[in-house]
Structure 1
Amino acid sequence: MATIELLGVPSSAGAHWPGQEKAPAALRQAGLGTALREAGVDFLDAGDAPVSRWQPVREADGLSNASTVVAVARRTAERVGATLAEGRLPVVLGGDCSITVGAMAGLSTVEPEPGLVYFDGGFDLGTPATTPGGIADSMGLAHLLGEPGCHQPLASVGPTMAVDAVLGFGVNDSGELSDQRGLRHFASADVRRTGVAMAKEARELMEARGRRFLVHFDVDVIDFFDLPIADVPVHVDDHTGLRFALTMDCLDVFLASPALGGLVVTELNPDHAVPADIAAFAARLARSLTRTRT
């Protein structure tokens, strides 16, 4: 039986604009499958869910494309749950960040109180009341934590998580948001200073819970000038982003954990990238996936 299952979620429904719905196909075209085979990774490619492209639609309580965002999250939950039930590790190729709500729901069907490593340029703690434009992309973690003012149909898809089950990594956070909610986090500036050692510390904290955890990996944590593939750019010169090499070295640490319950890759926008950069990312992601212990 294959140990890894690729699940394509080609959706930009929760994004700022179209583009992310092209990411799973772009990664395949860039040679992700070939790189996995050459690296000796035992995997099954389960293909893509239906394409859900961003539309200029405001629904319900102000959440943009609300019904589509919720439908995509529910479908993702079903697929992730089915993959885990078959004994495989889900690797979800997104897609915007809101799909992680569904991925966590899928993990919670086989793991009580799962953990979440939020490897992202930001915490995504917005709600329809606080986020101009109603973009779900910046609201995923808020809906998993059950923040006041969330869109209830989306929040009901995933488990309501305790703050001590979440760990932010590589986030550009001054401390205000995380301190208000008691969220543990390793800021991007600290990761740049201490490197992989900080990823190892974060992994140990998650493993100490005794529960499997999901890694939400938003490529906007990578400095856009170093590898311009993200939907929303983050730059080292702004003291926020991480170099590509360091980012992937840290991802290696998380994926090597015996407590790993899945990986979600989000925010890659092929409209912002050239094929060579997507190929570089696909090849390095394949190397990271050789670390998994499924």
Structure 2
Amino acid sequence: MKKKISIIGVPMDFGQTRRGVDMGPSAIRYANAVERLESLHYEVEDLGDIDVGKRASVEEDASEKLKNLKAAAAGNEKLALKVDETVKEGAFPLILGGDHSIAIGTLAGVAKHYENLGVIWYDAHGDLNTGETSPSGNIHGMPLAVSLGLGHSTLTNIMGYSPKVKPENIVIIGARCLDEGEKDLIKKLGIKVFTMHEIDRLGMTKVIEETIQYFEGRADGVHLSLDLDGLDPIDAPGVGTPVIGGISYRESHLAMEMLAEAELITSAEFVEVNPILDERNKTAIVAVELMGSLFGEKLL
């Protein structure tokens, strides 16, 4: 891991309809994210929040079924530029969300610096919908598809290039709620997925070992996109789209600890923390604790 971490907050809630997730970066900071990382002897620079503007008062591009398209694209463009700048300066970009649509900007800013960027998508959902397959039109269900070059050109062409990642360089961990169009795309593209069935059957140790082996010789950098709804709602209640039967708190710590030991991760984002839906900031606290493990914190 690089010893300098640059934190970028993205208070964006354009990707879905439940309000409150725009306060996620503040909640994570309130849970002492900066102090936790500094205690691990990192040089931490908090760059503040991206000014993402405001959502439209009327629906845009209804024919495309994409809600808040222009606002989401503009916010992600700003984020991509900031992430790009951070990587150029030699720092580790740590992005705080915000809904998961911010991954569009994160990956746009990161991927241009790698020939074969690997992506770990730690999430209950595949986020592989397009305007044609999405039941809701919510862009937070589309960022992985967008990063593959699939979807509305306003989103896929952020930073002027597409695709950002290749299907063979993606590993999804924790999936348990996939739309039919996403299932078809996963099969068509051969994307590697560890559903909850595999996690239950193999155990998290085996899942992460196989993930690490999968990226060996394949990826020259690996981005971790961690949606807090990947965890079970018992452990992370403050998310917009909770799905029961998720990854446990302890399994998630083990995953982060193993990724830290492998020195695999070159950028990361923690998303979908919604304080309005939370219990005494529990989900933000969990996010910070998982950050600690990802950056090398140990019990002994």
TM-score, normalised by the number of residues in structure 2: 0.87
**Alignment match, 1:198:** 207
What pairs up with 1:123-138 in 2 under 5 angstroms? 123-138=126-141
Shift of 1:256: 4.2
C-alpha separation in 2, matches of 1:17 and 1:279: 17
Query: Over residues 192-248 of structure 1, what are the superposed CA-to-partner deviations in whole Å (9 max), with x where a residue is unaligned?
Result: 331222112102212331411211111111100233122211112xxxx11112123
* Equivalent position SS for 1:58: coil
**Alignment match, 1:22:** 23
**Alignment match, 2:100:** 97
Decide which of 71, 91, 106 is 1:88's aligned counterpart: 91
Task: Give the share of equivalent positions with the same residue, in percent.
Answer: 26
Contact 1:221–1:247 (CA<8 Å) still a contact in 2?
no
Q: Do residues 166 (structure 1) and 191 (structure 2) align?
A: no
Aligned residue type for 1:163: P
Runs of 4+ in 1 over 6 A off after TM superposition: none
Q: Do residues 272 (structure 1) and 281 (structure 2) align?
A: no
Aligned residue type for 1:16: T
* Equivalent position SS for 2:115: coil
Quick check: 125-134 or 86-95, which moved more?
Answer: 125-134
Q: Do residues 229 (structure 1) and 238 (structure 2) align?
A: yes
C-alpha separation in 2, matches of 1:95 and 1:232: 13
Change in CA separation of 1:85 and 1:195 when aligned onto 2, cut-off 3 Å: same
C-alpha separation in 2, matches of 1:101 and 1:53: 18
Q: Do residues 32 (structure 1) and 33 (structure 2) align?
A: yes
C-alpha separation in 2, matches of 1:208 and 1:263: 20
Contact 2:56–2:68 (CA<8 Å) still a contact in 1?
yes
Change in CA separation of 1:137 and 1:229 when aligned onto 2, cut-off 3 Å: same
Contact 1:30–1:278 (CA<8 Å) still a contact in 2?
no
C-alpha separation in 2, matches of 1:288 and 1:163: 27
Contact 1:11–1:54 (CA<8 Å) still a contact in 2?
no
C-alpha separation in 2, matches of 1:15 and 1:254: 30
Shift of 1:103: 1.1
C-alpha separation in 2, matches of 1:256 and 1:10: 31
Contact 2:80–2:106 (CA<8 Å) still a contact in 1?
yes
C-alpha separation in 2, matches of 1:290 and 1:125: 28
C-alpha separation in 2, matches of 1:199 and 1:55: 41
**Alignment match, 1:253:** 258
C-alpha separation in 1, matches of 2:18 and 2:281: 23
Decide which of 248, 265, 272 is 1:243's aligned counterpart: 248
Shift of 1:276: 4.5
Contact 2:15–2:100 (CA<8 Å) still a contact in 1?
yes
Shift of 1:140: 0.9
C-alpha separation in 2, matches of 1:50 and 1:176: 36
C-alpha separation in 2, matches of 1:52 and 1:268: 19
Aligned residue type for 2:10: V
Unpaired segments of 5 or more residues in structure 1?
none
**Alignment match, 2:222:** 213
C-alpha separation in 1, matches of 2:48 and 2:171: 30
What pairs up with 1:54-69 in 2 under 5 angstroms? 57-60=58-61, 61-69=64-72
C-alpha separation in 1, matches of 2:291 and 2:144: 26
Contact 1:108–1:159 (CA<8 Å) still a contact in 2?
no
Contact 1:126–1:138 (CA<8 Å) still a contact in 2?
yes
Aligned residue type for 1:252: E
- Aligned-residue RMSD, C-alpha: 2.2
What pairs up with 1:99-178 in 2 under 5 angstroms? 99-147=102-150, 150-157=151-158, 159-160=162-163, 161-172=165-176, 177-178=185-186
**Alignment match, 2:187:** 179
C-alpha separation in 2, matches of 1:2 and 1:183: 32
C-alpha separation in 1, matches of 2:284 and 2:174: 23
C-alpha separation in 2, matches of 1:30 and 1:52: 25
Shift of 1:66: 0.4
Change in CA separation of 1:195 and 1:76 when aligned onto 2, cut-off 3 Å: same
Unpaired segments of 5 or more residues in structure 2?
none
Aligned residue type for 1:192: D
Shift of 1:68: 0.8
Shift of 1:137: 0.7
Change in CA separation of 1:71 and 1:252 when aligned onto 2, cut-off 3 Å: farther
Contact 2:171–2:193 (CA<8 Å) still a contact in 1?
yes
